Amino acid sequence: MDAFTTHTGTAAPLRRSAVDTDQIIPAEYLKRITRTGFEDGLFVAWRTNEPDFVLNQPQYADATVLVAGPDFGTGSSREHACWALLDGGFRVVISSRFADIFKNNSTKSGLLTVVLPQADVEALWQAVEADPATPVTVDLQSRTVTYGDTTVPFEVDEYTRWRLLEGLDDVGLTERHLADVEAFEAQRPSWLPRALPALPA
Amino acid sequence: MPKTLAEKVYDAHVVRSAAGEPDLLYIDLHLVHEVTSPQAFDGLRAAGRRVRRPELTMATEDHNVPTLDVLKPIADPVSRAQVEALRHNAAEFGIRLAPMGDRDQGIVHVIGPQLGLTQPGTTIVCGDSHTSTHGAFGALAFGIGTSEVEHVLATQTLPQYRPKQMAVTVEGELPEGVSSKDVILAVIARIGTNGAAGHVIEYRGSAIEALSMEARMTICNMSIEAGARAGVIAPDETTFAYLQGRPHAPQGTDWDAAVEYWRTLRTDEGAVFDSEVVLDAAELAPFVTWGTNPGQGLPLTERVPDPAELADDNERRAAEQALAYMGLTPGTPLREIEVDTVFLGSCTNGRIEDLRTAAELLRGKRIDPDTRMLVVPGSIGVKLQAEAEGLDRVFTEAGAEWRGAGCSMCLGMNPDQLKPGERSASTSNRNFQGRQGKGGRTHLVSPSVAAATALTGRLTAPADLAETAGV
């Protein structure tokens, strides 16, 4: 996972709520067994069927910050949704509320999800609609979103922030606690399920 | 301190807890399918890691699986390559796989309970959001992404933050013709498609206790459609009776020890929930969705809502976008909406009881000639059971198509898809835009509403059939 410290780019206003992961990337693109190259599936139905969809507008085509309505990323657990956004050039998604699994996946794949109150999202929408070239800076060090004269703080838990700043992968961190895992395993009841073929009674 | 059921299961699996860090949670069972695992196995290979506990890991093929010609190679080369990747990975890493054609194959959330792998008090994960299904047994079960799949394969643990607790209490008796699908659709309509974010929902109350295991699974399955991390129901005699004798259930003295422990898995008197929703079972009715997320639902007796009556800007815009996509006009009675396809199946409603319920309504009748009905059992086990009971003939004699087992038209990763503009009544879990095929329009319903709809060609409750027949 790439480390995230600070990012400056232009922002696309996605005025839709409850954007589900089937819209971010439809299931047919999930047949691939690679971890990259999902940009062609990103919002593909809306890009195909709606000429005025925000990402079809040239002034937002190079945006790297997506500013979405509430409840972004509901539905399927597909991490491909994060990969598609990253492959499509986005480094940050801002919303007033995310679905849990999407938010969790984002922290594993290096996509920064920033929660701001809906009033701040609305103000940011208006700013980037008034001037699509507005640079937006998302700084994970100082936990702020800045555009024009406006700076808005955001919250992120210290552990996730540290992992993202360092670009650390969880497996390596957990392996430091292998002794704890082994101690736990030693006291598990013997009757817990095992997936090996069942023996005849 | 009094604890909720979910807190008890969570606390019993904490391997390590440290201030300022997520807890490390032990995972008892990891279910794997072909779609969300190939990149995780690649990650293991790249790092030279093995699967830490292959015997706590079970794989099957479900999402891409065709429901016709199931013994031939998959025609779609991309789907075939993904299924073959799983076969290769399962063999290389020593994981049990139930492939197409195997009698244990099926939708991952159908086979876990069927085999007795899903047990009370366990932690269960899968790279699939409907893992919440297994909470019906009092397991803490939740969907994860591919990075987390890799983490569980490598360490048999997951870093987790303690979830909040929500109670959904349903007291009383469900009216005739109202099923657990209607209960969960009503819950989601009440709290919204992400209204339970950050929470585990515990379903409780006399109406929940009266449900069969399969009906409970339907409710827990759709916890994710309310945004919940997981859904749980306290295990009871119904749970134990369902589990006893299944291939992977404990046996002999192990069974006694397990049941003794399982009986402790109840929310303590005085335990605190962060929020509670209360429903009166007697007031529930057959439900149907009109929009493009599972929270946009109403009783079937209602009309398509008017977005102009919604005060909140975001909700109004969402309703307008949903109706435009669904091709619906405000004020239209829901019972006048005509459908092209009825889909009976999925991890929500593809179990034997669901098939029995639908077959009972179709027995000796013919479905509407302009309506296509697909019946897709959730697993080979369900398929064989249904055929032993003669349900397959009830469906085919009614004019429905009897198919092989898999996820099928729930998400259209196989050839079972809606065409653009086609409308379905579907017993699955998601009515998202394009979910069942590009441009397809989905109305979520229960199995009995699905069967009644197939008979008339428009959204219909079973009680409506009796009225039209003059009974």
Residue B95 has pLDDT above 50, yes or no: yes
The CA distance from A31 to A34, in Å, is: 9
Q: What is the pLDDT of residues B228-243, one digit of tens each?
A: 999 999 999 999 999 9
Angle, CA B271 vertex, CA B265 and CA B272 arms, to 5°: 130
Nearest CA to A193 out of B11, B108, B5, B251 is that of B251
Residues of B in contact with A98 (CB under 8 A): 197
The sheet with strand B29-32 has its strands ordered as B96-98, B57-60, B29-32, B123-126, B140-143
- Tell me the residues of chain A between 59 and 118 that have a Cβ less than 8 Å away from chain B: 69-71, 74-80, 82, 97-101, 104-105, 108-109, 118
Whether residue B58 lies within 8 A of chain A, CB to CB, comes out as: yes
B144 reaches A (C-beta below 8 A): yes
Interface test with B, best of A111, A170, A199 (most B CBs within 10 A): A170
CATH for A6-186, options being 3.30.365.10, 1.10.10.200, 3.20.19.10, 3.30.540.10: 3.20.19.10
- Contact residues for B373 (Cβ-Cβ < 8 A; gap 6+): B341, B342, B343, B344, B367, B395, B398, B399, B400, B401, B450, B454
Whole-number pLDDT of residue A1? 82
As a whole-number percent, the residues of chain B with pLDDT over 90 amount to: 97
Using a pLDDT cut of 70, give the percent of chain B over it: 99
φ/ψ region of B245 (left if φ > 0, alpha if ψ in -120 to 50, else beta) reads left
- Touching B: A residues 127-156, CB under 8 Å: none
8 Å CB contact between B48 and B36: no
| Annotated binding residue B126 | no
**Pair of tokens at residue B220:** 């827990």
Lookup result for tokens 């196995």: B41
pLDDT single digits (tens) B393-443: 999 999 999 999 999 999 999 999 999 999 999 999 999 999 999 999 999
Q: Length of chain B in residues, anyone?
A: 471
CB B452 within 8 A of CB B427: no
Distance of alpha carbon B374 from alpha carbon B347, whole angstroms? 15
Q: Residue A59, exposed/middle/buried by CB under 10 A (0-12, 13-18, 19+)?
A: middle
| Structural domains of chain B sorted by starting position, each given as residue range(s) with its CATH number in brackets | 5-275 (3.30.499.10), 287-468 (3.30.499.10)
- State how far residue A147 is from chain B, nearest Cα, in angstroms: 24
B469 confidence band (pLDDT: 50, 70, 90): low
Angle at A15 between CA A12 and CA A17, to 5 degrees: 125
pLDDT at A201: 41
Residue to test with chain B: of A33, A49, A118, most B Cβ within 10 A: A33
Among all residues of chain A, which has the CA nearest to that of B295?
A18
More confident residue, B72 or B418: B418
Query: Residues A146-151: contacts with CB within 8 Å, 24+ apart?
Result: A147/A11, A150/A123
Angstrom distance (rounded) from CA B406 to CA B348: 12
Q: What is the pLDDT of residue A58?
A: 98
CB B156 within 8 A of CB B53: yes
Question: What value does the mean pLDDT take over residues B358-374?
Answer: 98
Query: What confidence tens digit (pLDDT) does each residue in B172-201 have?
Result: 999 999 999 999 999 999 999 999 999 999
Tokens 């700084």: give the residue: A139
Strands B199-204 vs A65-68: parallel, antiparallel or unpaired: unpaired
Per-residue pLDDT tens digits for A119-177: 999 999 999 999 999 999 999 999 999 999 999 999 999 999 999 999 998 999 999 99
B36/A174 Cβ within 8 A:
no
Closest-CA distance of chain A to residue B144, Å:
6
Per-residue pLDDT band at A199 (split at 50, 70, 90): very low
**d(Cα A61, Cα A78) in Å, to the nearest integer?**
24
A77 neighbourhood in chain B, CB within 8 Å: 36, 127-129, 143-145
Q: Where are the domains of chain A?
A: 6-186
Please answer whether residues B410 and B384 qualify as being in contact, where contact means their C-beta atoms are separated by less than 8 angstroms.
no
Q: Facing residues of A151 across strands?
A: A146
Residue type, B203: Y
Average pLDDT for residues B288-294, to the nearest whole number?
98
Collect all residues of chain A within an 8 Å Cβ-Cβ radius of residue B26.
181, 184-185, 188
The conformation of residue A114, written as its DSSP 8-state character, comes to E
Mutate which: B9, B142, B147, B199, vs A, most A CBs within 10 A: B147
DSSP secondary structure string, B177-220? T--HHHHHHHHHHHH-TTTTTTEEEEEESHHHHTS-HHHHHHHH
**Is there a contact between B61 and B96 (Cβ–Cβ < 8 Å)?**
no
How much of chain A exceeds pLDDT 70, in percent? 98
Strand pairing report for B341-344 and B423-426: parallel
Residue B34 is classified by DSSP as: S
Judge contact between B227 and B193, C-beta under 8 A. Answer: yes
Are A47 and A53 a contacting pair, CB within 8 Å? Answer: yes
Instruction: Tell me the three state secondary structure of residue B315.
Output: helix
pLDDT digits (tens, 9 = 90+) for B120-132: 999 999 999 999 9
User: What pLDDT is recorded for position B313?
Assistant: 85
Indicate the burial class of B238 (C-beta count within 10 angstroms; 0-12, 13-18, 19 or more): middle
What ipTM, to 2 d.p.? 0.96
| Residue-level pLDDT at A198 | 45
CB contact under 8 A, B76 and A31: yes
DSSP B311: -
Mean pLDDT of A63-88: 98
- The answer to whether A186 faces chain B, any CB pair under 8 Å, is no
Q: Which of B6, B248, B25 is nearest to B156 (CA)?
A: B25
What is the amino acid identity at position B327?
Answer: G
Q: How many CA atoms lie within 13 A of B86 on its CB side?
A: 27
Please count the other Cβ atoms lying within 10 Å of the Cβ belonging to residue B48.
Answer: 6
The one-letter code for the residue type at B267 is T
Q: Report the distance separating Cα B12 and Cα B299, nearest Å.
A: 40
Q: How far is the C-alpha of B250 from the C-alpha of A193, rounded, in Å?
A: 8
Q: How high is the pLDDT of residue A197?
A: 59
Burial of B462 (C-beta count, 10 Å sphere; 0-12/13-18/19+): buried
pLDDT in tens, A172-197: 999 999 999 999 999 999 999 999 85
pLDDT band at B331 (very low <50, low <70, confident <90, very high): very high
Q: What is the largest CA-CA distance in chain B?
A: 70
User: Quick one: average pLDDT of B142-168?
Assistant: 98
pLDDT in tens, B269-284: 999 999 999 999 999 9
Pick the closest to residue B342 from B363, B362, B325 (CA basis).
B362
Q: By the 8 A CB rule, do B248 and A195 touch?
A: yes
- Return the pLDDT at B410: 97
Distance between CA atoms of B352 and B370, rounded to whole angstroms?
27
Cα B328 from Cα B305, distance rounded (Å): 10
Chain A residues whose CB is inside 8 A of the B29 CB are: 193, 195
Which residues are B424's β-sheet partners?
B341, B442
Average pLDDT over chain B reads 97
